[in-house]
Amino acid sequence: MAKILRIHPDNPQDNVINEVVTVLKNGGLIIYPSDTVYALGCNIFDIRAMEKLAQLKKIKLEKAHFSIICNDLSHLSNFTKPIDTAVFRFLKSKIPGPFTFILEANKSLPLAYKGNKTVGIRVPDHAIPQLIVEKLGHPIASTSIKDDDEVLEYSTDPELIAEKYDSFVDLVIDSGYGDNMASTVVDLTSGEPELIRQGKGEL
């Protein structure tokens, strides 16, 4: 049964975030808010947690393309090949924000991402995921929570989300209603921004 933590979206309490971090360190799955939609997340270096996340999404881990949630660009070199100055400046102009950037992956990716030639990097403009990553000491893996409703593509009500995923995750963060528009996906592998999916972020 998932524990529900109510956390203020703008001023998250340190001690409550520490509780979230403990769950992640112990291999748990969490549901957390972002500047776009609510998402599922886990410890990127815990292969069992990554497998559970893949099972929950009903896909094989080796075919999963979970985003990597960072709190700034300092972790970029851990996951991506070197990028040129123009791309770095472009990233800095859009981060933090409602974007997922596809970049060329390097060979130092966590085990669950081995073999991937590209990786999606995201820095949400939201205090809760930023503080989680900061206190955890490294990024988390993430995937958006889709809704079964044909009209609403993404679930927005944290109480309903908690009810639906109660037996599948360890912790649900409730910080009020989420958005129902996902991040804008931009491919930067060629050095020039290529729009893959229009979402909340405007290029």
Q: What are the pLDDT tens digits along the chain (203 aa)?
A: 899 999 999 999 999 999 999 999 999 999 999 999 999 999 999 999 999 999 999 999 988 989 999 999 998 989 999 999 999 999 999 999 999 999 999 988 899 998 899 999 999 999 999 999 999 999 999 999 886 655 566 778 888 899 999 999 999 999 999 888 999 999 999 999 999 999 999 98
Q: What is the pLDDT of residue 146?
A: 80
pLDDT at 180: 86
User: What secondary structure letter does DSSP report for 154?
Assistant: B
Q: pLDDT (tens digit, 9 = 90+) per residue, 20-72?
A: 999 999 999 999 999 999 999 999 999 999 999 999 999 999 889 899 999 99
Residues 166 and 176 sit within 8 Å (Cβ to Cβ) = no
Q: So what's the pLDDT on residue 114?
A: 86
* DSSP summary character for residue 27: T
Sheet holding 99-104, edge to edge: 3-6, 171-174, 30-32, 39-43, 140-144, 67-69, 118-122, 99-104, 184-187, 194-197
Burial profile 86-117: b = 16 or more Cβ within 10 angstroms, e = fewer: ebeebbeebbbbbbbbbbbbeeebbebbeebe
What local confidence, expressed as pLDDT, does residue 155 receive?
78
For 104, phi then psi, to 5°, come to -70, 130
Q: Which residues pair with 106 in a beta bridge?
A: none
pTM passes above 0.95: no
Task: Extract the tokens encoding 161.
Answer: 């989300």
Start-to-end CA distance of the chain, whole Å, equals 41
